[in-house]
Amino acid sequence: KAKNEAANSYCYFSTDLQVEMNKRLDVGNKLRKALENNALDVHYQPKYDLRSGEMVGVESLVRLSDDEGGFISPLNFIEYAEETGLIFRLGEQVLEKSCISAKRWLDAGVPTKVAVNISAKQFTDSKLVDTVAMILEKTQLPSKYLELEVTESALIENYEYAVNQLKLIAKMKVSIALDDFGTGYSSLSYLRLFPLNVLKIDQSFVRDMLTDSQALDIVSTIIELAHSLHLQIVAEGIETAEQKNKLDELGCATGQGYLLGKPMNYESLTQLLLPSLHNNDQYV
């Protein structure tokens, strides 16, 4: 009997594993194909000045098309891309597409800074700095319109190397944002040593700040920290007017979230920047 049960549970386990492996294979195939065809999609989420309502920039977010005309979330393929090394090509394509878009907006008279996510694995690449320089040169985007978003874990894993890389990036006048701030190690001593420009308050704190006084304390502490270190501050994941008003009251100058604007494709973001312009005339 025991033997049977063991055989059964092995069977279930094997089926689950099979499903997982098929999913992984499927995402892998789609990702490889998209990379080969330069067909990754990049969406842009606007960032706003919370007081004036003016758009102050965008964050670029990669998207992979599925078979039903929808998109697969990066949460479902970034890790895979990191494990397989595909992240380097992915990163390069997203960076290039983002810079091309920002250059078009600049040329159309609506200069807009684009922030590109860089994962921890990409940050270990000794060619990262050269790649950024090469893409800026190729797309002719002035470096002040580019920002890189890195996470605390990317910086902490290899601390001295990270400081050097960041200094080289800062020298190019590309700005640097610390993403998901508050969820990682948050060691205060390194904040002083890294050449950072922006702190992004993680969306989990914004989500909970009106119902959980600890989350609220963390949010206001991060805002004060940013002020005293002369860093710009961006709140992520603003979904309600109450959250937006509270953040404004606490002195948070800029924010992004579904309340203010969802991630959208290049054409839609361009419409937002240039409402009077018909995209088809200009860009297709």
Question: Which chain residues interact with Mg ion by CB under 5 A?
Answer: 117, 149, 179-180, 236
Of the candidate residues 55, 56, 78, 198, the single one contacting ligand C2E (CB under 6 A): 78
Q: Would you say 135 and 99 are in contact if contact means Cβ atoms under 8 Å apart?
A: yes
> Is residue 263 a contact residue for ligand C2E (CB under 6 A)?
yes
Query: Rounded to the nearest whole angstrom, what is the least distance from the CB of residue 262 to ligand C2E in the complex?
Result: 7
Pick the stretch among 140-148, 162-170, 240-248, 255-263 that binds ligand C2E (CB under 6 A). 255-263
Mask for 116-155, x = binds ligand C2E (CB under 6 A): -xxx-----------------------------x------
Backbone phi and psi for residue 121, each to the nearest 5 degrees, phi listed first:
-65, -45
Tell which positions 3-32 bind ligand C2E, by CB under 6 A.
none
Tell me which of 136, 198, 257, 266 binds ligand C2E, using CB under 6 A: 257
The one of ligand C2E, Mg ion, none whose footprint includes residue 62, by CB under 5 to 8 A per kind, is ligand C2E
177 binds, among Mg ion, ligand C2E, none (CB under 5 to 8 A by kind): none
Distance between CA 164 and CA 69 in Å, rounded?
42
Among 46, 182, 237, 255, binds ligand C2E (CB under 6 A): 237
Long-range CB contacts (< 8 A, 24+ apart) of 55-59? Answer: 55/112, 55/261, 55/272, 55/273, 56/113, 56/254, 57/112, 57/113, 57/114, 57/115, 57/147, 58/112, 58/113, 58/114, 58/115, 58/269, 59/114, 59/115, 59/117, 59/149, 59/256, 59/263
User: Cα separations (Å) of 46 from 1, 42, 58, 176?
Assistant: 61, 13, 4, 17
Q: Which of 117, 220 has the CB closer to ligand C2E? A: 117
- The CB-of-17 to Mg ion minimum distance in angstroms stands at 28
Q: How far is CA 30 from CA 1, 21, 26, 60, 190, in A?
A: 44, 14, 6, 20, 39
Size of the site for ligand C2E (CB under 6 A): 24
Task: Tally the C-alpha atoms within 13 A of residue 97's C-alpha that lie toward its C-beta.
Answer: 22
Distance from CA of residue 208 to its chain's centroid?
21
Q: With contact defined as beta carbons under 8 Å apart, do 117 and 127 qualify?
A: no
User: CB of 4: closest distance to ligand C2E in angstroms?
Assistant: 44
Structure tokens at 39: 């067909």
Between 117 and 165, CB nearer to ligand C2E = 117
Instruction: With H, G, I as helix, E, B as strand and everything else as coil, classify residue 277.
Output: coil
* Binder of residue 175, out of ligand C2E, Mg ion, none (CB less than 5 to 8 A by kind): none
Residues numbered 103 to 122 that lie near ligand C2E (CB under 6 A) are 117-119
Regarding 57 and contact with ligand C2E (CB under 6 A), the answer is no
The residue behind tokens 């839609």 is 268
Under the rule (CB under 6 A), what is the footprint of ligand C2E?
45, 61-62, 73-75, 78, 91, 94, 117-119, 149, 179-180, 203, 236-239, 256-258, 263
